[in-house]
Amino acid sequence: MEANVGAVRDWSGAVRPWWQVSPNDLTGTLLDAGTRRLNDVLANDPVLRSIDGLWSANPFRTIVPVDWAEVARALRTVWMLSLSRPDKAVRKAADVQAAVWTSAMEAWNDAGRRWWGMAGGKVADGSRSGSAPDGDKRFAAPEWHANPAYRTLKEMYLLASDWLLEQGERADGLDDAERRRLTFHLRQFVDAMSPTLLLFSNPAALRRVLETGGVSLADGARNLLSDLREGRLSMVDATAFEPGRNLATTPGKVVHRNRLIELIQYQPAGGAVHAVPLLILPPWINKYYILDLQPKNSMVRHLVEQGFTVFVISWKNPDASMDGVGFDDYMDLGPLEAADVVRDITGATSINVMGYCIGGTLLAITLAWLAAKGDTRFNAATFMVSLQDFSHVGDTAVFLGEPTVDFIEQQMMERGYLDSREMGNMFNLLRSNDLIWSNVVNNYLMGNKPPAFDLLYWNSDGTRMARAAHSWYLRNTYVENNLIVPGKVRLKGEAIDLGRIPQEVYAVGAEKDHIVPWDAAWRVTQLLKGSKVRYVLASSGHIAGIINPPGGKGTYWTDGAGEPGATAQAWRGKAAAHSGSWWTDWTAWLAERSGRKGKPPALGSATHPALADAPGAYVLEK
């Protein structure tokens, strides 16, 4: 995965500048040639090449990673496509203008009624796409509702935004990938144009200036200069947390270490434990302690308290010396070697296993590889927000087409790895309002320190990607989607066929997941033909949907009949909703497949003695 979208296009050709394109060209040859011809023209435009080059050289590029060349291309695509249907474009523009006038008159009339002591009218909602004022944090300041000037500005922005996004969603002649790309970059433009991002049109920031006597402006400038020096946007107070101090504090020992992993065994909470231990494979694109944050939201601590013997892999943060580490090494030195260590320490003949996100993809491949060899070292398996079928990956597809992967591989060839900041930029752009622009307002306009939030600290504590392994992963998943074709992938001499996986499976999707769409996570129920799969849908997103301990908010859905359904939508239609955390459902399922309880095993063994206290050394590598 890659986020440095600003330089993924190699515009090497030359075409006429847009100002030299005649109306005849637009209404004749160009439009008659269709959308693909249009996209080719835009891709080779020297004006867009110049925009891209200027923005890539701009130091703000490292703070706000929006690809303005792609945004410019998207805007011009909408403009040129609208020329093919001028009657429709004029009619829609007139509708938007009328809506703006209506909204403005309502805002000022409402202000007049309040001035005369009359009850105010209902606040108009100019948005049809989910950015309604009542639910949009950007417009939380009371002035956006009570002040007619600000309210008019807000409504104009929302109406214009919806109009522009609708042009992308309803553009004729585009395939799904083209429409997704167009809409994505239009949304980046819409988000970047919010009036809340300018000091003089942000009432909360102006109020802050008056309250502090201008100190907030000085603090904001200081924050901006600091971020420019660091080459990143500060999203969290980095001094507030540290693994081993107030994160990743569940007691345990590192009981095995190789060049790719540290294996952590956690200390029992007391009392008897289930006979079958649990091995957890976290994603190697992030650090493992997302599963062991603070005691109140630690999945690891919860599992230990429920009487499970828990082992977790902590992946090494690759550097240039690990350039040649391949995907087969991740399987060999990761789940396979870890499983041998776990069985040696506990005496168990087979163990349960869980894979989170890309760790689940690795787990599926490993289970298929073991099935081909007749190896039964793993018992029940759990997949959390994991992809095996990459035909539907949501907005991440914008970043992971063939040209982008080519560019990623060029970068990795130069460095020996993919830098973690580029990964982080991509994920941040998928939720730019929450993860980019809200921090721009907080840090620079309001002059505040970044918040102290454990999830944001973990999100900022990224890892690099080993070149060979990451290249193999991208091409066999996002680019070619080879895992769903039996025998298409071979690892260590064995053909990978997901349909041969025999383990019972528990799979979790997240309702608002922007990285692994819930219906894509559901596909595991169809691919694992030899398995009995229980699929559960959690509320919220990729992280909050998983890190949702009992006692908090949340909803999850299960199919009481235990059948996956013919389609994801069919499954959803008959699924039953439950209040609370899905953790309770999972631990009950896991307990039934973990054997009787008895005396807990020792931490480590004579063959694998304890090497260090958890969280170990690999997780601390920057």
Catalytic positions, please? 357
Residues 6 or more apart whose Cβ sits within 8 Å of residue 321:
416
Report the C-alpha gap between 152 and 143 in whole angstroms: 11
The pair of three-digit structure tokens given for residue 196, joined into one six-digit string:
């809340």
Type and span of the H or E element at 254: strand 252-257
β 505-510/494-495 pair status? unpaired
Report the C-alpha gap between 333 and 325 in whole angstroms: 10
Ramachandran region, residue 437 (left: φ > 0; alpha: ψ -120 to 50; beta: rest): alpha
Strand partners, 256: 263
Dihedrals phi, psi of 508, to nearest 5 degrees: -125, 130
Using an 8 Å Cβ cutoff, are 471 and 409 in contact?
Answer: yes
Q: How many CA atoms lie within 13 A of 327 on its CB side?
A: 21
The pair of three-digit structure tokens given for residue 274, joined into one six-digit string:
């289930």
Using an 8 Å Cβ cutoff, are 420 and 463 in contact?
Answer: yes
Using an 8 Å Cβ cutoff, are 68 and 52 in contact?
Answer: yes
Report the C-alpha gap between 522 and 399 in whole angstroms: 23
Report the C-alpha gap between 453 and 566 in whole angstroms: 41
Report the C-alpha gap between 62 and 342 in whole angstroms: 43
Ramachandran region, residue 263 (left: φ > 0; alpha: ψ -120 to 50; beta: rest): beta
β 555-558/533-538 pair status? antiparallel
What is the SS3 assignment for 78? helix
Amino acid letter for position 73? R
Is the bond preceding 133 in cis, omega lying within 30 degrees of 0? Answer: no
Q: How far is CA 68 from the centre of its chain?
A: 21
Q: What count of other Cβ atoms lies within 10 Å of the Cβ of residue 560?
A: 8
Dihedrals phi, psi of 510, to nearest 5 degrees: -120, 130
Amino acid letter for position 305? E
